Structure 1
Amino acid sequence: MELIYGKTMTISPEAERSIAAYRHKVFIELLGWDMPVQDGFERDQFDHEDTVYVMARNDSGAVCGCARLLPTTSPYLLSEVFPQLLNGVTPPCSPEVWELSRFATVDFSAQTTNAMSQFSSEICVELLHASIHCAYQHGAKRLITVSPLGIERLLRRMGVHAHRAGPPMTIDGHHIYACWIEIDEITIKALDALSEKTYDFTDMASGRHSIQD
């Protein structure tokens, strides 16, 4: 599996289109979410030049996972579309808090593909691990995310330090909630133990980092 990440302007146009087409297949065709669509691509107002993407490709080169990272110092999905999930608390606005959104790990080349596979594939650990490391590289100490309620059980099984930012709600027929993911020793050790890669978070103060295959 190959992991690619970068801002809109640094990844290739082909990679950006692949992510948008993949998101359409997952969120529109598979999950039936009501989202902006144009010519088979799923994009919204939060896909812009400062957006950071993480993409996973399988051995055949097909996209099998994606994630989107946004700083909370600019408008983001939770603050603009789902602030009610915070139960009256002001949405975070800090360079140390980033939003994780459009996270999916469906491998359409697999023999079975269903709605639950959005988060149940083996790719999930690697993509989450890479996404957390990428956010950390940009100064994040915490992630906030709008997620289906099922992700709560998955994060708990992984051992990730995650907790609710507000009670779950049903919006447009989907059971979702706002979730904090702490970028701390608990999360890092849990993902290191499950992952095929080891990301170096040891020098948190200086921000230095490396990846070991």
Structure 2
Amino acid sequence: MFKVHAIHAGNRHLYEEALDQHHRIRHDIYVGERKWMDLERPDGREIDQFDTDKAVYLLGIEPGKGVVGGSRLVPTLEPHLMSDVFPSLANVRDLPRASGIFEWTRIFVIPARREGGRLCKAAGIIYCGILEFCLSQDIRQISVVCEAYWIPRLIGLGWNPALLGEPIVKDGMTIVGITCDMTEEALDKTRAIYEIAGSVMAPEIVPFIRFPEADHAAYIA
């Protein structure tokens, strides 16, 4: 199949073509397919205010074919979707912000890799990539703004989703804010469900460095 590449500020120069392809795919999916017209751009690239040098992209790249799936993680100590756009989704529990918590957004699989009527192996590889990366970086939780139908799916994967507040309805969708636990047990269960053996991650030439919470002020200076 393909491996998941962790792309960040330290190695972004090695992945310029893949990153551009991923932004175009995001536009095709979120604007073209899902009709989220607020995201439409004339250049055909879906880029928002959280696509900064602090974001980490986990892209599935198949040799000879390019990007086939991916996702994005943003440190919650930085501006992110829940803090800046949907803070009301955390109106019961506190908004989760810590060095060991990242926000997960923009997951996708290209149409050619989807498997209608059964579990999508490509999606499973991306899920495992998220878990593997978080575990390798001691990221203990992810926060998510998502549609409510994701909750039973994530329960089934062993990610232990927990609501942060009351749902809202936007553009006909029921939107929730949740946290998910990044654990070895969740990784084992996700691998078993998608019949994935071993690591899905590509070797890193330039390792990602996550700054500890105490150093956050120096990090953003």
Distance in 2 (CA, whole Å) between partners of 1:111 and 1:198 is 22
Distance in 1 (CA, whole Å) between partners of 2:155 and 2:131 is 16
**TM-score, normalization: structure 2?**
0.77
CA 1:111–1:128 in 2, change beyond 3 Å: closer, same or farther?
Answer: closer
Moved more, 63-72 or 179-188: 179-188
Q: Is 1:19 the counterpart of 2:18 in the alignment? A: no
1:98-137 → structure 2 map (5 Å cutoff): 98-105=102-109, 107-109=110-112, 121-137=120-136
1:57-114 alpha-carbon deviations (Å, 9 max, x no partner): 3576143311100111111111111111112544222001111111122x3225888x
1:113-170 alpha-carbon deviations (Å, 9 max, x no partner): 8xx99xx632222101101221233331011111122211221232332222223221
Aligned pairs, number: 195
Give the match for residue 182 of structure 1: 181
Q: Is 1:30 the counterpart of 2:29 in the alignment? A: no
Structure 1: where are the runs of 5+ without partners?
A: 201-213
CA 1:108–1:57 in 2, change beyond 3 Å: closer, same or farther?
Answer: farther
Same amino acid, percent of matched pairs: 22
Q: CA RMSD in A?
A: 2.6
Structure 1 or 2: more strand by fraction: 1
Aligned partner of 2:175: which letter? I
Give the match for residue 4 of structure 1: 5
Q: Is 1:81 the counterpart of 2:85 in the alignment? A: yes
Distance in 2 (CA, whole Å) between partners of 1:164 and 1:89 is 8
Tell me, yes or no, if the aligned pair for 1:8 and 1:16 is still in contact at 8 Å.
no
Give the match for residue 139 of structure 1: 138
Tell me, yes or no, if the aligned pair for 1:160 and 1:187 is still in contact at 8 Å.
yes
Structure 1 or 2: more helix by fraction: 2
Give the match for residue 61 of structure 1: 65
Deviation at 1:185, TM superposition (A): 3.9
CA 1:90–1:162 in 2, change beyond 3 Å: closer, same or farther?
Answer: closer
CA 1:93–1:32 in 2, change beyond 3 Å: closer, same or farther?
Answer: same
Deviation at 1:37, TM superposition (A): 2.3
**TM-score, normalization: structure 1?**
0.80
Runs (4 or more) in structure 1 with deviation over 6 Å come to: none
Tell me, yes or no, if the aligned pair for 2:103 and 2:144 is still in contact at 8 Å.
yes
Deviation at 1:38, TM superposition (A): 4.2
